[in-house]
Chain A
Amino acid sequence: MSLELKEVSISLHGRPLVPPLSASVGPGEVLVLMGESGSGKSSLLAFLAGLLEPPLVGTGRVHLGGRDITALPTERRRVGLLFQDDLLFPHLSVRDNLLFALPAGDRTARIARADAALQRAGLGGYAARPPASLSGGQRARVSLLRALLAEPQALLLDEPFSKLDAALRGRMREFVWAELQTQQVCAVLVTHDAQDVPAGAQVIELPPGVAVGPVADDV
């Protein structure tokens, strides 16, 4: 499935923040958005996920696998989102976090699928553990697994490596790119760090925008 952005732009109080942008990302490929703080990178991701809120306004169309998802509610877009923080639900076990994401179906089969994913990520013994008992790197991996187990057709990555230490960041990057390749999911990555950019990725440098604080920075 490929993700297509057609003349997508973001404005704030009627003033352009992100100029019209068109791009296409194929299965297993990564589109990288770079730019200064306040350039609208995260707002663009929010628009793609259907989470953009006033006073920010997005225009243009977004197609995923040939269908127009621009007007679809977030939960029906099949677009995953990873933040800087893992945002694992702290009151659920690692396995229950994954089960929350898995599509509905036979309970035993779902548990087996979640456990298999954990096994593959080297986290086999952690299924019943609370997220808080895992290291930062382990939590980041569980967070990615959770996003992928929802079977998204595209994954949006909002600086997912920025809070990891240098050694862990390298390993996590390899883990993420390998998973995307395996599952043939296209991705849009927002980053400040050129080292995050995978080989062969398309890179779009956004021009400086209007600094709008946490809405644009954190979404």
Chain B
Amino acid sequence: MTATALLFALPLIAALPLALSEALDRSAWHALWADPQLPRALGASVFTALASTLGAIALTLWLVTHLHATPAWARLTAALGPMLALPHAAFAIGLAWLIAPAGALARLIAPLAGWSAPPDWVTVNDPHGLALVAVLLLKELPFLLWSALALLSRPEVAASLRAQVALARTLGYAPHAWWWRVGWLQWAPRLVWPALAVLAYGLTVVDLALIVGPGSPPTLAVLAWQGLSDGNVARNAQGAAAALLLTGVLVMLVAAGFVVMAGLQRWGRRRVARGVRGRGFEGRRPLAARATVGSVATVYAGVVLALGVLSVAGVWTFPALWPQGVSGAAWAQVVQSASTVGFTAALAAAASAGGVLLSMAWLEAAPPRWDRRITPLVLAPLVLPQLLLMVGMYRGALALQLDGTVLGLWWVHTLMALPYSFTALAPAWRSFDRRYEWSALTLGRRRLAFWWRVKWPLLSGPLASALAIGFAVSVAQYLATQFIGAGRHATLTTEAVALASGGQRTLAAAFALLQALLPALAFALAAWAQRRPTMQP
């Protein structure tokens, strides 16, 4: 048990002081402040993170308010899985092609606008980071919706929600009026952690910023990453200082967020006191909400289609809607990189297995007292800025001589997959009826027999989901692979990002498609495992 706890906790406990020790260098801070790119880079980071996070939160609240308990809700929840499974980098590469001046959207409207050449617009890598905001918003919206769905589906919450809405309706409140006046006052605070994870991710994301973010100067996260990957020690320290600065900014934004939330709660309670009932549910807003969901789903479908077409495009002049020729050149190069595909899949399988085994060991054996203390640490990578975490973990890997090794990569990918595997497994594991175990023991069977014959088969669904989620998380790792792999090990993600930021569209699209296909395959396998014939009445 102690060993499991150490595996969980030590890397994280060690990573932060190690990162701080590198970042707390006076000359590094002087160099950072003297960098003329800093103000605009910091501004772009804060703007893109705040705009995407607030936009995703607002859309989540609005969509849940108008669609929950309607037929459209079921369709929305069914669409969330594929949206979540599409890796961030693949989505960014596809969306970049959709909105590029020579991209699919421009080609669609070219006949109407009379364009014979791409418009002189900067829609990707724009200096304000609007493309990055769009990618982050569209990619984090399904995550927040899924978090809200998970919360509202809990039996105790679902029962209370049904009863409260029914009661509110008897008091003359339309359901959406109840959500804004009462519902969100209760449930929104429970969505703070997912929102915090979205903000932390948006503020420190590197791969997406390289693909669609501003170029000169880039976001502060990219500046930090460039410093950290430099061969010069002073530049490394400057990069670590930038990562620490971003963490400080995150802390301030979170503090401000809590103040704003408290204010909104007070304002909400005052609105309750006014007793305004709101109009009926039949209005334009549910229609607009359904249209929004449809638009987001269309964008996702468009991204996948764009990746598919782009990966086989030969000659494709503007403003032709479809390529004039088909080419297998990109896929031929992918085939030559089969070892990268194999390595990505093997690493993801090993990391997801590691994450699930550690989660199972913890859930099975941790005393409740430890469980309460260690669980927040296990979940910490979800809300900690990855950049700072990676600085510390890289220092740890250097000390253990694990940098650049496959073992080191497996270790850091496992740690990144762990919170997701744990989150997927814990509810089912903790709500498993312990009396089954007592029954088995009193029938004279050992625990191992009970786990093998009863518990694991009954929990095969959550286990398969946890494995698939861990696999997808590992496949999508960019910073972790670059830092701990020390640039020696290529995965589909590192290749796709490098190709996309280098402007190799078709090859990047092929790698991005494969990057999306691997997790999709894992989720399909998980769904198949859950649909195996079981004893049904």
Contact = CB atoms under 8 A, between A and B. Distances in A.
A and B interact physically = yes
Interface of A: 49-51, 73-81, 83, 85, 87, 89-93, 100-101, 103, 129-133, 146-147, 150-152, 156, 218
Given A85-B435, A89-B454, A131 B535 contact: yes
Given A74-B442, A80-B443, A92-B535, 13 more contacts: A51-B442, A89-B436, A89-B453, A90-B458, A91-B534, A93-B535, A100-B440, A100-B445, A100-B453, A132-B536, A133-B537, A147-B442, A152-B444
A154 B535 CA distance: 31
Contacts of A103: 444
B282 interface: no
A83 B447 CA distance: 19
Interface string B232-274: 0000000000000000000000000000000000000000000
A33 B453 CA distance: 33
B440 A79 contact: no
Q: Is the interface of B mostly helix, strand, loop or mixed?
A: helix
A80 B444 CA distance: 8
28 contacts: A74-B438, A74-B442, A75-B441, A75-B442, A75-B446, A75-B447, A76-B444, A78-B444, A79-B442, A81-B438, A81-B442, A87-B439, A89-B454, A91-B458, A91-B534, A91-B535, A92-B454, A93-B535, A100-B443, A101-B443, A101-B444, A103-B444, A129-B537, A132-B535, A147-B442, A150-B442, A152-B444, A156-B442
B433 interface: yes
Interface string B443-465: 11111000001100110000000
Contacts of A146: 443
Contact of A91 (B446, B457, B537): B457
A70 B536 CA distance: 40
Interface in B131-178: none
Contacts, number: 77
A75 B433 contact: no
B439 A81 contact: yes
Given A87-B435, A89-B454, A91-B535, A80 B445 contact: no
Nearest to B457: A91
Interface string B514-537: 000000000000000000001111
B454 A80 contact: no
A75 B535 contact: no
A83 B435 contact: yes
Contacts of A49: 438, 441-442
Contacts of B445: 75, 100-101
A50 B447 CA distance: 14
Nearest to B458: A91
B436, B444, B536: which has the most chain A beta carbons within 10 Å?
Answer: B444
Contact of B535 (A101, A130, A147): A130
B464 to A, nearest CB: 14
Contacts of A85: 435
A184 B435 CA distance: 26
Contacts of A79: 442
Contacts of A76: 444
Contacts of A80: 442-443
A110 B454 CA distance: 19
Of A49, A74, A152, A218, chain B has the most CB atoms within 10 Å of the CB of: A74
A132 B443 CA distance: 21
A90 B535 contact: yes
Nearest to A88: B439
Most buried by A among B438, B439, B457: B439
Nearest to A75: B441
B537 A130 contact: yes
A81 B396 CA distance: 51
A92 B458 CA distance: 10
A87 B432 CA distance: 12
A147 B441 CA distance: 11
